Structure 1
Amino acid sequence: MHGTNKATLIGLVAILLWSAIVGLIRSVSDHLGPTGGAAMMYSLASVFLLLSVGHVKLSEFPRRYLAWGSLLFVSYELCLALSIGYASTARQAIEVGMVNYLWPTFTVIAAILFNRQRANWLIVPGFALSIVGICWVLGGDGGFDVAGMLANVRDSPLSYGLAFAGALIWAAYCTVTARIANGKNGVTLFFILVSITLWIKYLLEGGGAMDFSLEAVVYLVLAAGAMGFGYGAWNVGILHGNVTVLAGASYFIAVFSAALSTLLLRAPLSLAFWQGAAMVYGGAILCWLATRNNI
């Protein structure tokens, strides 16, 4: 197999691994708790990253990237893991994952506002379709239902709030690091910082019981592997593969994630959910297309 094709295939594996993260994080949280489970996941994922990506040489990284990258990356991962762990039900965990998937749309908007990325008129319907899609998902089985959406959010406001904040933060991370990273990838360091932060939170909360059953350990290893090796595989794909193919394929993560999560969590999803998910996906694609002819 040609080197570029092989690297692209490795990058596509990362997309599949990331698509399983929502269901796996929720499964680990059910056994080990939202904070303790997340701390275990990121600690083990840090080990996997050290093995796959390698050690971090801080002297090679721009100081601004270390500062802002650390702050934004750690904040995002905390929002992602805890929003899923704090969800009241398995279905809410999947919905939270969909809210987090607003980040591609927000990233394009941020690039336009702050990085002077040029875009055409498709950006308007793309952004609107993404927002309507999320409202459709949160509305429940009835689709776009404002009362149902508000009731759903009120049932777990912290979880949905963290997911929405995470989408904004990741868009900021992508926008900022594109300007100041100088091609460096500090994901290994950032994961270590996430795990340290979570352990501090866990200890400040007084710890908590963890059910280290065989099932819990299996989910923990799978979740950490999906996170750690996912980033490692993506790094290979972006550096040596077909970036255009990988960028286009990454927009399918929302749909893949929902499909894998409903299997892992045994939480059937309504037709309205899939309609909303399709809107979020379609909106992200429109936002991406809005920039393609203006680079």
Structure 2
Amino acid sequence: MPSKHNATLIGLVAVLLWSSIVGLIRGVSEHLGATGGAAMMYSLGTLFLALSVGRTRVRAMPRRYLLWGSVLFVAYELCLSLSIGYANTGRQAIEVGMVNYLWPTFTMMAAILFNRQRANALIVPGFLLSMLGICWVLGGDQGLDLAGMLANVQDNPLSYGLAFSGAVIWAAYCAVTARIARGSNGVTLFFALTALALWIKYLAMGQAAPMQWSAQAVLYLVLAAGAMGFGYAAWNVGILHGNVTVLAGASYFIPVLSAALAATLLRAPLSLAFWQGASMVCGGSILCWLATRTAGQRKAAGDAHSAAP
């Protein structure tokens, strides 16, 4: 068993790994296709998880958790990977990733609405600030520009719609599993089911473009699968044995870290307005988190992040 300090550091590694996901998924999709690349990524990620976490003890898990956890987890991962893969440009992939990072705010809202999580008045400005931040990001270089935001979304409604749906689905996953999981962790099984769903979709497409294999494609694939698989494994160690408060707080900075890494990896320069919007998303999420950090509510606030993506 790692010490609490070391477990917290391992959990923080997960934050860094997940921050690289947007850029890496986009790199995989550019070489192997949105669906085929995602299928390969989750297949390899399942292997990495099995090696680091071990096999899933299906019989020991509550049946409701197996059912709803599987459905919601697979649905979220499909939304995440395909929204980034279907983006038209690297800049759009980063914007799509930012929309997906509404999940911390939505998770806190779900915990309040469905799990009776107590919160103070900060929850209202936190939610509004997160939504304003997304509008600021989608407005383009002009910042808050409703016409520009609408034109941006209309350019690729599928990607933006999938990203937003994914944020809502993950909030539902966290709210549901916090109530019915009973300490179980089926992430390895859920990864395998995600890979299976993607392979079925890939084969059903029939005339899908062939995967363009190269040394760079393999590198992107290994890094993306490792970031996903080992990220979940590291987060699990941190949540179980580390400082949940530190990890929950650090997770709210993933949007900014993710945008910075993706912009570098994809060579997609981002405007000042984008960074302003990204900061608002982070700030709103932090306010929502602080709204639940009342006395006696520490465990409940941490539970909402026990399965952070």
TM-score normalized by the length of structure 2: 0.94
The amino acid across from 2:70 in the alignment is S
- Once the two structures are superposed, the pairs formed by residues 138-287 of structure 1 within 5 Å of their partners are 138-206=138-206, 207-287=208-288
Alpha-carbon separation, structure 2, partners of 1:243 and 1:285? 15
DSSP-derived class of the 1:208 partner: coil
Deviation string 1:26-45 (CA, Å, 9 cap, x unpaired) is 00000000000000000000
* Contact persistence 1:75–1:166 (CA under 8 A): yes
- Alpha-carbon separation, structure 2, partners of 1:288 and 1:12: 18
Is 2:1 aligned against 1:6? Answer: no
SS in 2 for 1:292: coil
* Residue identity matched to 2:5: N
What are the superposed Cα offsets for residues 105-124 of structure 1, whole Å, 9 maximum, x if unpaired?
Answer: 00111111111111111011
Distance 1:10 1:57 in 2: 24
Q: How does 1:42-121 map to 2 (within 5 A)?
A: 42-121=42-121
What is the deviation of 1:208? 2.7
Measured in 1, the distance between the counterparts of 2:14 and 2:151 equals: 35
- Measure, in 1, the Cα distance between the counterparts of 2:88 and 2:133: 21
8 A contact 1:52–1:229 mirrored in 2: yes
Aligned to 2:303: none
Deviation at 1:3, TM superposition (A): 1.1
Stretches of structure 1 that go unaligned for 5 or more consecutive residues are: none
1:4 Cα deviation from its structure 2 partner: 1.0
Contiguous gaps of at least 5 residues in structure 2: 298-309
Counterpart of 1:127 in structure 2 is 127
CA contact (8 A) 1:36 1:208 kept: no
Q: Secondary structure at the match of 1:269?
A: coil
Partner letter of residue 281 of structure 1? C
**1:21 equivalent in structure 2:** 21
1:71-112 CA distances to partner (integer Å, 9 max, x unpaired)?
000000000000000011100000000000000000111111
Aligned residues: 294
1:165-221 C-alpha deviation (Å, 9 max, x unpaired) = 000000000000000000111000000000000000000001431011000000000
Q: Output the CA distance in 2 between the equivalents of 1:61 and 1:212.
A: 39
Report the TM-score when normalising by structure 1.
Answer: 0.99
**CA deviations over 1:43-69 (Å, ceiling 9, x no partner):** 000000000000111111000000000
Per-residue displacement from partner, 1:247-286 (whole Å, max 9, x unpaired)?
A: 1111110111001000110000000000000000000000
Percent of counterpart pairs with the same letter?
76
Q: Matched residues in 1 for 2:22 and 2:132: separation? A: 22
Structure 1 outlier segments of 4+, above 3 Å = none
Aligned to 2:305: none
For 2:235 and 2:42, the matched residues in 1 are separated by: 17
How far apart are 1:25 and its partner, in Å?
0.1
